[in-house]
Amino acid sequence: MSLRKRLSYVAATAVGIAIVLAAVVSYWVVRDQLVGQIDSQLRAQADAVLQAGTLAPLSGAGFPSIPASEGGPAPYWQIVAANGAVLQNSQNVALPIDADTLRVARFEVDNVIDNTTVGGTNLRILIVHALYVVNPSTGQAIPAAVQIARPLSPVERLLNKLRLILALLFVGGVVLAALMGRMAARRVLAPLAEVTETVQAIGETDDLSRRLAVHAEDEVGQLATRFNEMLERLEHSRAALDESVRAQRQLVADASHELRTPITSLRTNIEVLLADTGIDAEDRDRLLADVVEQSEELSALVSDLIELARGDLPAVATEDVRLDRLVEESLARARRNSPAVQYTESLAPIVIEGVPERLARAVNNLLDNAARHGAPDGPVEVVVDQRGVLVRDHGMGIPPAELPYVFDRFYRGENSRGRQGSGLGLAIVRQVAHAHGGEITAVNVPDGGALFTLALPTSPADDDDREAQAVYGSGGLASRA
């Protein structure tokens, strides 16, 4: 059963119950009022009987009566002796004599009022006690009960009409409630139907850009708002997933292309060595050197690819890292690998929350890049301060047309071609920076060389090194940047 039908049935049931309760209460109130009016008329005539005192043999017209304004005389009356004998009645209609009538005749009960039936006619009967003169010549009087009755047929006819009216009201109210409930349900459920249509359309077309119209700030409007927010998040998640898949495919394609050259060259050299067709010692040594160099290049490329792949995995547990000490260790490594380069540093005590191994990899790549592209035997200046890590070389700089692409995967500019390298070093730096909530930028310095800034969310170390602060404030790269 649809929700619309259920709401219609609920509305009809609720209205039906309300009408039934109102009808029952109304019916019994009206019935009590009508019967109460007859009771009032009977008691008024009973009062007239009691005011008359002793009742002598009466004619129909001589029975104590009441005016028409109070209901007029009762059509049925009967006088009953204490032994149950009927002393006198009206219109020769015998009213039933029961135990209550005899108790009233014996003055044991003041009065009794009840319903009775005579000849198929329902009557309302009131019984009161009185004295009845048996022998007018002697004035002898005996206890007696006076029965006064009025027909209930006018009340019954009115109640029958009332029952019919209430029944029609019940049926009409239920039908009207069902129709109104269905109309209201259609309006209330229209936004839900729109939600259903949108969900179905999204399922069929896979279009997450569709949105629901918010018609009002009610519960349904809040549902539409929450649904739109969910679609917004799903659309962003889908876009991020598509971009991740695209990047992975591009990485695989680029890696396949980059790996093909060293592997082909390595295989060719090995095949030449295996052929052993009288190669002299000098050529053999040269081929072996090429094999070693190509193996190192291939190993570095695979290592860089692994590092890039790690960047797509959830971050491992982080810790507080002394960035100045980490850079100091990277500088020691760089001096061993490039002894001709003059490294100068200004390292302020800085702390960052991150993964030490990945941060060290990014710093090493920046130092290696500066050593390769800086001036031969020229200086490389390194600064660690609240901005992060700054590395400047004094080489030829970066051509302006290449600046937007230096951090792309496998991108190698004009100055890099012919040199060993995979083109992944700076891409790894950018990936590490983003993973730590930072950014990497590159600019050309006016007086020559390039400045790379690894901006990171840092904070001062607890053990503030004043000597390092003095060095930092002395100028150098920090002031030129």
Tell me which residue of 74, 88, 68 sits closest to 149, measured CA to CA: 74
pLDDT of residue 251: 66
Domain coordinates of the chain in residue numbers? 3-159, 220-309, 314-480
Specify the pLDDT at position 478. 40
Mean pLDDT over 423-427 rounds to: 82
Percent of the chain with pLDDT over 90: 35
Comparing 261 with 331, the larger pLDDT belongs to 331
Please provide the average confidence, as pLDDT, over all residues in the chain.
Answer: 82
The amino acid sitting at 367 is: L
144 vs 219, which has greater pLDDT?
A: 144
% of the chain surpassing 70 pLDDT: 85
Check residue 471 and give its pLDDT. Answer: 39
pLDDT at 41 over 80: yes
pLDDT of residue 24: 92
Cβ pair 440, 452 in contact under 8 A = yes
CATH topology of domain 220-309: Helix Hairpins (1.10.287)
CA distance 105 to 363: 123
Kindly indicate the confidence band of residue 1, based on its pLDDT and cuts at 50, 70 and 90: low
β-sheet bridge partners, residue 144: 81, 130
pLDDT top residue among 232 and 457: 457
Which pLDDT value is given to residue 447? 86
Q: What pLDDT is attached to residue 469?
A: 42
The amino acid sitting at 403 is L
pLDDT (0 to 100) of residue 195: 75
Question: Where does the pLDDT of residue 53 fall: very low under 50, low under 70, confident under 90, or very high at 90 and above?
Answer: confident
* Mean pLDDT value of segment 243-268: 72
Tell whether the model's pLDDT for residue 198 goes beyond 60.
yes
Q: What is the mean pLDDT of residues 391-401?
A: 90
Rounded Cα–Cα distance for residues 472 and 37 (Å): 110
* 476, pLDDT greater than 50: no
CA distance 95 to 86: 9
Q: Is the pLDDT of residue 381 over 90?
A: yes
pLDDT of residue 162: 92
The per-residue pLDDT for range 149-176, each reduced to its tens digit, is: 999 999 999 999 999 999 999 999 888 8
Q: Supply the pLDDT for residue 191.
A: 72
Domain 314-480 has CATH 3.30.565.10: yes
Cα 385 to Cα 381: distance, rounded to the nearest angstrom: 13
Residue 451 pLDDT: 94
Taking alpha carbons only, the member of 188, 467, 196, 458 closest to residue 327 is 458
pLDDT above 90: residue 382: yes
Mean pLDDT computed over 350-371: 92
How confident is the model at residue 479, as a pLDDT? 35
CA distance 409 to 87: 128
Q: Under a CB-based contact definition with an 8 Å cutoff, are residues 337 and 301 in contact?
A: no
- Residue type at 43? R
For 295-348, write each residue's pLDDT tens digit. Answer: 876 776 677 667 666 655 555 678 999 999 999 999 999 998 888 899 999 999
263 vs 363, residue with greater confidence: 363
Whether the full predicted model's pTM is greater than 0.85, yes or no, is no
Give the contacts of 336 (CB within 8 A, at least 6 positions apart): none
3-state SS of the chain is CCHHHHHHHHHHHHHHHHHHHHHHHHHHHHHHHHHHHHHHHHHHHHHHHHHHCEECCCCHHHCCCCCHHHCCCCCEEEEEECCCCEEEECCCCCCCCCHHHHHHHCCCCCEEEEEEEECCEEEEEEEEEEEEEEECCCCEEEEEEEEEEEECHHHHHHHHHHHHHHHHHHHHHHHHHHHHHHHHHHHHHHHHHHHHHHHHHHHHHCCCCCCCCCCCCCHHHHHHHHHHHHHHHHHHHHHHHHHHHHHHHHHHHHHHHHHHHHHHHHHHHHHHHHHCCCCCHHHHHHHHHHHHHHHHHHHHHHHHHHHHHHCCCCCCCCEEEEHHHHHHHHHHHHHHHCCCCEEEEEECCEEEEECHHHHHHHHHHHHHHHHHHCCCCCEEEEEEECCEEEEEECCCCCCHHHHHHCCCCCCCCCCCCCCCCCCCHHHHHHHHHHHCCCEEEEEECCCCCEEEEEECCCEECCCCCHHHHHHHCCCCHHHHC
pLDDT band at 445 (very low <50, low <70, confident <90, very high): very high
CB 410 within 8 A of CB 254: yes
Distance CA 253, CA 404 (A): 21
